[in-house]
Chain A
Amino acid sequence: MAGAEPAALRLEGVGRRFGALAAVGDVSLEVARGERRAVLGPNGAGKTTLFNLVCGDFPPTAGRVVLFGEDITRLKPHHRTRRGVGRTYQNSLLFNGLSVADNLVVAVRGAKPGRFGLRLPAAADRAAARRLAEAVRLSHLLGAEVSSLSHGQRRQLEVGMALACEPRLLMLDEPAAGLSPAERPELVKLLRALPRELTLLVIEHDMDVALPLADVVTVMKDGDVVVEGPPGRIEGDPVVQAIYLGHHGRAH
């Protein structure tokens, strides 16, 4: 297809084994630019492993990862970030010894040249950190140590730090996990407000969070994609119901 814009993300036969376990079996999928994709699946389905393969925590044992037309299969994580991959983690990975503001400053600077900056953070960095804090509703906690945040606030900061990298492809790993019912709508609002041109990949168990957000849904099980399609079709799919009726009973 000459002239067509390459997809935001294309996985070609990607697999990852841990010893005898195929955490991700043989996954091929394509995420269009600006698409919002939900990734569903029971515990241990390989969803997080798939994210790790895209962000480069470890290389796949098979297949290729192509980002905006560029093969990034062998690139280190920081080079992938510089090419537009941003992500959050299922269990928040924050800098506990630093303040919310400094967490965001570090995140903001990562996307810019001059990463060894030996001058105090410029006013522009501080301002960018403030804007991000506002976007994830943490303005009132800028000076707080991250170790003193509530679980929900940590999840919000997770998203803020991922956004700070100005990603073109944002991957959110269970952003609503562990949030109280009161905190959930706050997060959904936050995700809805993300810019439309941003390509979004969201792992989420909570259908009420995932389905309204998604253009396309991918369902994984035992390391492989089992169903893919628009949310309307997914909800009624017998395979998905078989997986999720059981799951919902357990998780909530």
Chain B
Amino acid sequence: MSGGRPSPAALASVALLAALALLPLLIPPFWTANIFGRAFVYGIVAMSLTFLATYGGFVSLAQTMMGGVAGYVAAVLVPDSVPSLVGGVPYAAAIPVALLAATASGLLVGAVAVRTQGIYLLMITLALAVGFHLFAQANIAWFNGYEGIRNVVGPEVFGLPFRNTFVFYYAALGSAALLYALVLYVVRTPFGLVLQGIRDNPRRVSALGYDAALHRIAAFGLAGFIAGCGGLLVTFYNIGISPGSIGLGPTVNVLVMCVIGGLGHPIGAFVGALVFTLFDTFAADIYDRDRFNTLVGAVFLLIVLVSPDGVLGLAKRAVAPLRGRRRVGPAAGAAPNTGAPLAAEE
């Protein structure tokens, strides 16, 4: 096929993946599972939002909820969970069913919110997320109410428990890498290009013969699948799921991760999740636990003020001067060219 030469970005991704694969040899198990592993699984949920926001222009607050749907479905189905609500369904079957359910929840959210944009989309998705949280909290028969479902240990891998530091780390890393590659692939397909078209100009997309509404709903479905993968891994990481893990706090945290890392590229979700995890883990040591949210809030504010496009934006600006001023010249020269005739028109 044509275009066989790997791009620098692709080479960098492979190098990063290789480094991350070797990382557990160099760091203590706590860092392997509870910092990096955890950052990967929450990063997956965050990336489902980055996908929607960066390529579709949809800021959804329902991503934690979609992950929660997968987590709850698996928790209800798998053997050994406490309390056992359905139980007995092996992981090999429960996981696909859970992902299907998460995808369906994404499609549903997409359909409900299909006519809204901006702040209204934010409000509707928030309402759905809070609604699901309250429902799970109130429902005993399916969700075991406030307590949730415990002992969702995850599948055994090569005879090792999922909780094993390395099993968890590589499962998280593998899933994150695959889904990351999936997103980067999808945005180059016609489906992904149309999604970006909807972001830039929905009216034109319709005028070209596309059902923009259907496209939007499909994008939410894919985001539901991604969030579901993350939600499942989060559930295995926490060895269970409860309403608290899909409440307002975790819902907003996903948005915070995306913004800290930087919307603009899916990698930002993982950067943000890592920064967030570091703070969440160590802030308590250096600062009063009760004021953790104040600290995170302050860091969040600082990043947004200093760099509205997050850590990614910071990195880009730091690297730009090293790449020389060549790029800046033509770009700055082009601006008046496009601006002048437009200004003359009106």
Chain A residue contacts of B189, Cβ below 8 A: 117-121
Does B344 belong to the interface (CB within 8 Å)?
A: yes
Given A95-B204, A148-B334, A148-B338, A78 and B345 contact (CB-CB distance below 8 Å): no
Residues of chain A having any CB pair with chain B under 8 Å: 55, 57, 76-78, 81-82, 86-87, 89, 93-98, 102, 105-107, 109-111, 114-121, 123, 125, 147-152, 154, 161, 164-165, 177-180
Q: A116-B190, A154-B338 are in contact. List 7 more A-B contacts (CB 8 A).
A: A78-B209, A81-B209, A96-B201, A102-B196, A117-B189, A151-B340, A178-B344
Bound-state CA distance A152–B338 (Å) is 9
Q: Which 3 A-B pairs have the closest CB atoms?
A: A110-B208, A151-B341, A110-B209
Chain A residue contacts of B338, Cβ below 8 A: 147-151, 154
Bound-state CA distance A198–B281 (Å) is 66
Given A57-B203, A94-B204, A78 and B193 contact (CB-CB distance below 8 Å): no
Bound-state CA distance A201–B144 (Å) is 64
Residues of chain B having any CB pair with chain A under 8 Å: 2, 185-186, 188-191, 193-194, 196-197, 199-201, 203-212, 215, 218, 331, 334, 337-338, 340-342, 344-345
What are 25 A-B contacts defined by CB distance under 8 Å?
A77-B203, A78-B210, A78-B211, A81-B206, A81-B209, A93-B201, A95-B196, A95-B197, A95-B200, A95-B201, A97-B199, A97-B200, A106-B190, A111-B208, A117-B190, A118-B191, A119-B189, A121-B190, A147-B338, A148-B331, A148-B338, A151-B341, A164-B208, A178-B341, A179-B341
Chain B residue contacts of A78, Cβ below 8 A: 206-212
Bound-state CA distance A120–B340 (Å) is 37
Contact indicator B342/A87 (Cβ below 8 Å) = no
A-B contacts, CB under 8 A, total: 118
Bound-state CA distance A55–B207 (Å) is 7
Q: How far is the CB of A187 from chain B (nearest CB, A)?
A: 13
Contact indicator A76/B341 (Cβ below 8 Å) = no
Chain B residue contacts of A96, Cβ below 8 A: 200-201
Contact indicator A151/B193 (Cβ below 8 Å) = no
Chain B residue contacts of A149, Cβ below 8 A: 338
Contact indicator A111/B209 (Cβ below 8 Å) = yes
Contact indicator A94/B186 (Cβ below 8 Å) = no
Contact indicator A116/B188 (Cβ below 8 Å) = no
Chain B residue contacts of A57, Cβ below 8 A: 203
Contact indicator B209/A115 (Cβ below 8 Å) = yes
Residue of B nearest to A103 (CB): B197
Contact indicator A115/B210 (Cβ below 8 Å) = yes
Chain A residue contacts of B209, Cβ below 8 A: 78, 81-82, 110-111, 115, 165
Bound-state CA distance A119–B194 (Å) is 13
Given A57-B203, A87-B207, A178-B344, A97 and B190 contact (CB-CB distance below 8 Å): no
